[in-house]
Amino acid sequence: MKLSVKYLLLITFFVLLGCKKTELTPNSDLIIKAGFMCGWGSGEDSLEISQSEIKYVYYIPAQSRVPIINKTRSVSESEWTEILNIVNLDNFVKLNYQSCNICVDGCDEWISIEDDKISHNIRIGKGYQIDTINKLQNKLAELRAEFSK
């Protein structure tokens, strides 16, 4: 009996040792894309964040394919580190939200994260908060507000 308990503890130790958060490095080739789209051609935006820059585009499809807002700015090393610290890939890839509010003329918000190993996206009702990625959602909202001025 004592021998099997020792084996069980040893196996548990190795299983727990193997469970660790995916670490993102400052030189990560991670790209985060996010945006929203609403029915009746009432507006769409997109935000693309990489290690070197952030691009923001907003337009109203029913009026024109020419963006009303089209801005780009560089990303500092400290800002990129901050972004990497709030992205939890392990939590994000577990999410399986694929709403379709736009299908009934509502609004959807989408987030996509990709690098050389993964590509995952979700689509949720605009403004819907998910506990496991709340910090990321807040940062995206902060950036959207900065660019939409």
Average pLDDT by stretches of 10, the chain with 149 residues: 49 45 65 93 92 95 84 96 94 95 92 93 95 96 92
- Identify the pLDDT of residue 122: 97
16 CB neighbour count, 10 Å cutoff: 9
- Identify the pLDDT of residue 12: 47
| 108: exposed, middle or buried (Cβ count in 10 Å: 0-12, 13-18, 19+) | buried
Between 3.30.1370, 3.30.1560, 3.30.1490, 1.10.150, what CATH number should domain 2-147 receive?
Answer: 3.30.1560
Question: How far from 65 is each of 8, 33, 43, 57, 111, CA to CA, in Å?
Answer: 62, 19, 11, 11, 22
Domain ranges, ordered by start, for the chain: 2-147
63 CB neighbour count, 10 Å cutoff: 11
CA R_g for the chain? 20
Round to whole Å and give the CA distance between 34 and 137: 9
Segment holding 112, helix H or strand E: strand 107-114
Round to whole Å and give the CA distance between 11 and 115: 32
Cβ(49)–Cβ(57) below 8 Å: no
The pTM assigned to this predicted structure is 0.80
- Identify the pLDDT of residue 24: 60
59 CB neighbour count, 10 Å cutoff: 18
Residue where the block lists tokens 């490095």: 25
